[in-house]
């Protein structure tokens, strides 16, 4: 197998494992609440705020995903943030990363999975940076305005919604894989550029 394909498959496998681990956490919590320590593994990657995350809930008909706290585009009362990183099993359990990061990481896997349908794996040409910048701008604007609103720097209160966070994360995450794969191929492959 060519070195480029090995690099691609390693990246794809790592993104698959990481994506599955994100999805598995709330299911692990439903099976045994002693698994709560698993949230700590993801804490270096995400703030894990409850109001900015999705939760997995259980109903009589099965499982469903919804916002952990009400989403009205307004600030969630501070006492809601005092809840632990996971919810009580009677209510549901949160995913280990926020909605924006969930979209980002899952789309990185999806981008990697569809990459061979978009470009040849051995194509070492990195696309023009302008497309990556355009893909990151929605995430940067939404996140920055949210951040400056949280700090009280801007003269209005802005609380993004989880669906907007998820969408901006998906756009950026998909683009990141399209750029990261040829970058990794160039970085770790011994053969010369074609």
- pLDDT (tens digit per residue) in 121-179: 999 999 999 999 999 999 999 999 988 988 889 888 888 899 999 999 999 999 999 99
pLDDT at 78 over 70: no
- Count of other CB atoms within 10 angstroms of residue 52: 26
Q: Looking at the domain assignment, is residue 194 inside a domain? A: no
pLDDT given at position 194: 47
Provide the pLDDT confidence category of residue 1 given band limits of 50, 70 and 90: low
pLDDT at 114 over 70: yes
Q: Looking at the domain assignment, is residue 193 inside a domain? A: no
Q: DSSP label at 91?
A: T
Q: Looking at the domain assignment, is residue 89 inside a domain? A: yes
Q: Output the pTM of the full model.
A: 0.85
Q: Looking at the domain assignment, is residue 181 inside a domain? A: yes
Q: Looking at the domain assignment, is residue 47 inside a domain? A: yes
pLDDT given at position 37: 85
Q: Looking at the domain assignment, is residue 112 inside a domain? A: yes
193 by Cβ neighbours in 10 Å (0-12 / 13-18 / 19+) ranks as: exposed
Q: How many domains does the chain have?
A: 1
Provide the pLDDT confidence category of residue 91 given band limits of 50, 70 and 90: low
Structural domain harbouring 108: 3-188
Question: E strands of the chain, at which residues?
Answer: 54-59, 62-67, 93-94
């Amino acid at each position: 197998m060519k070195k480029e394909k090995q690099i691609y498959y390693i990246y794809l496998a790592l993104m698959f494992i990481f994506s599955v681990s994100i999805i598995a956490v709330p299911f692990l919590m439903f099976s045994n609440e002693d698994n709560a320590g698993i949230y700590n593994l993801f804490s270096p990657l995400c703030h894990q705020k409850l109001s900015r995350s999705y939760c997995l809930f259980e109903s009589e008909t099965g499982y469903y995903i919804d916002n952990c706290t009400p989403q009205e585009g307004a600030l969630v009362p501070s006492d809601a943030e005092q809840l632990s990183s996971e919810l009580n099993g009677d209510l549901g359990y949160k995913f280990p990363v926020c909605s924006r990061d969930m979209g980002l990481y899952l789309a990185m896997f999806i981008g990697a999975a569809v990459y061979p349908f978009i470009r040849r794996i051995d194509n070492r040409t990195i696309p023009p940076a302008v497309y990556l910048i355009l893909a990151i701008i929605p995430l940067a604007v939404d996140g920055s305005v949210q951040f400056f609103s949280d700090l009280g720097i801007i003269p209005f209160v802005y609380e993004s919604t989880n669906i907007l966070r998820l969408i901006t994360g998906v756009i950026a995450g998909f683009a990141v894989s399209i750029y990261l794969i040829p970058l990794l191929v160039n970085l770790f492959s011994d053969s010369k550029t074609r």
